[in-house]
Amino acid sequence: MFLRQLEPRTARTTAEVIKFALWPLAVMTVLNRVFIKAVNGFITDDYRPVYQASLDFLNGRPVYTANFDSVDPHYLYPPSGTLLIAPIAAIDYEKSRWLFIALNAIAILIAWYLLLRLFRYTLNSVAAPALLLAMFTSETVINTLVFTNVNGCVLLAELIFIRLLLKRQDLWAGAALGLSIAVKPTLAPLLLIALVRGQWKVFVTALGVPLALTAIAWPLSKDPEKFLTRTAPYIFESRDYFNSAIVGNGEYYGLPPWLTWGMRVVLGVLVLISLWLLYRYYREDELFFVCTSSGVLLTASFLLSSLGQMYYSMMLFPFLMTVVLRNSVLRNWPAWLAIFGFMSYDKWLSDRWQHIGRNLEYLRITFGWGLLLIVVFCVLGDRYLAARREGRLPFGIDPAWMRSAPDPRGEAPQRPAPALPAETSTPHNGAAPVEQDRISVEP
């Protein structure tokens, strides 16, 4: 029976062949990243300061004592995060690090499964090994495990939040987000999505959980006030090393402040217009709206704030997965050129062309995030302008051809939409009436 699986009597479909080819590649890649690369570690060690701070917290010693004049990783978590992470110091450093690697690897795998189910894929689909392989070959997953930081758990919190938000389980969605904010505020911009959707209960737990944890941790800490007076000001300062935000690269290359501020303002305006178009025309298409808006918000926060690091891009996986939706803004090559910039593990440092290679390596993340925001703005803007020319704005901005576009998830094409009313369906240039073209891909 087993041998028949190796050479069945009936021909396999293309999707089945690809699936069988991808699964061993994906599984072996995961094992290599977790048990070889991550355990080997690297010169950059995000975990040691976290372990030391946890050890100091458990032993009643000051926690916020980092030397910010060095370029070594610093401990920047608030007292609430210290309280949550402190148990990792109950065992010796090496075993604790291995356990933290395993915890983040498991969190990433659970997030992978939730992402599949969010977009209605199963483990039996070709998307399962393809997504798993793509995630574990990305820089963001590899360096999260190798540097041993908490981003895998933050990704899991994001997927739980999105899933519960779409199910209107607001308090639980807020609790998932609140736990991540208690450690680091990376996902805090997602509160704006709950706000515009009118899901007010999310704020009760999203803000209540970190406040409650802070209230517990404050009297247990030796120097909690130092987080506010010493660490927090450093977090909001820009730095010119390990910083792919516009302001970070601007300082590294010595750009005048007016130029870096100009780029930030221009891109900020593009982001606001994109978010307005998404809210105005796609908020009822919940899966597309939530995942795309979250991607735009998070990318903007990485690029326009005081600090953006490449492996933050892990939080964009839900946005990148929208490529399977018919109305995705990522179905074009410039979007994936941008994604290559901040997701690829390739190094562009060159021994032969050192200056060019260094610039490519340092700027590709910044350019990737920026290009992605520009692509989203251009796609949505083009749809809006085309719909306005054709008099379709009251019925959405998706073009008519999108109803019959192929759906990789195997869903049936949308039923033909009724023609628009005569007074709104005929463009000013006298062209033929245009059919309503709004589609829905809600899960």
Per residue in 146-181, pLDDT (tens digit) is 999 999 999 999 999 999 999 999 999 999 999 999
Q: For 355-369, what is each residue's pLDDT tens digit? A: 999 999 999 999 999
Nearest of 42, 49, 30, 293 to residue 150 by alpha carbon: 49
- Is pTM, for the whole model, over 0.85? yes
Task: Place 443 in a pLDDT band, splitting at 50, 70 and 90.
Answer: very low
Among the residue ranges 90-99, 224-233, 331-340, 431-440, the one predicted with the least confidence is 431-440
Q: For 21-69, what is each residue's pLDDT tens digit? A: 999 999 999 999 999 999 999 888 899 999 999 999 999 999 998 888 7
How are the residues of the chain apportioned to helix, strand and coil, as percentages rounded to the nearest 5? 70, 0, 30
pLDDT(419) > 50: no
Q: For 363-389, what is each residue's pLDDT tens digit? A: 999 999 999 999 999 999 999 999 999
Total residue count of the chain as it appears in this document: 443
Q: What is the pLDDT of residue 214?
A: 96
- Are the beta carbons of 227 and 57 closer than 8 angstroms? no
Q: What is the pLDDT of residue 1?
A: 60
pLDDT(398) > 50: yes
Q: What is the pLDDT of residue 71?
A: 79
Task: Place 439 in a pLDDT band, splitting at 50, 70 and 90.
Answer: very low
- Are the beta carbons of 37 and 146 closer than 8 angstroms? yes
Q: What is the pLDDT of residue 105?
A: 97
**269 versus 69: which is more confidently predicted?**
269
pLDDT (mean) for 234-238: 87
pLDDT(416) > 50: no
Residue 344 contacts by C-beta under 8 Å, 6 or more apart in sequence? 138, 139, 364
Task: Place 436 in a pLDDT band, splitting at 50, 70 and 90.
Answer: very low
Task: Place 406 in a pLDDT band, splitting at 50, 70 and 90.
Answer: low
One-letter amino acid at 303 equals: L
Q: What is the pLDDT of residue 16?
A: 87
Among the residue ranges 152-161, 234-243, 325-334, the one predicted with the least confidence is 234-243
Q: Rounded to 5 degrees, what are φ and ψ at 435?
A: -75, 155
pLDDT averaged over every residue in the chain: 89
Nearest of 114, 151, 116 to residue 131 by alpha carbon: 116
Q: For 76-109, what is each residue's pLDDT tens digit? A: 999 999 999 999 999 999 999 999 999 999 999 9
Q: State how far the Cα of 309 lies from the Cα of 184, in Å rounded to an integer.
A: 14
Task: Place 9 in a pLDDT band, splitting at 50, 70 and 90.
Answer: low
Structure-derived torsion over alpha carbons of residues 158, 159, 164, 166, reported in degrees to the nearest 10: 100
Number of C-beta neighbours around residue 199 at 10 A: 18
Nearest of 435, 433, 425, 438 to residue 398 by alpha carbon: 438
Q: For 174-219, what is each residue's pLDDT tens digit? A: 999 999 999 999 999 999 999 999 999 999 999 999 999 999 999 9
Q: What is the largest CA-CA distance in the chain?
A: 79
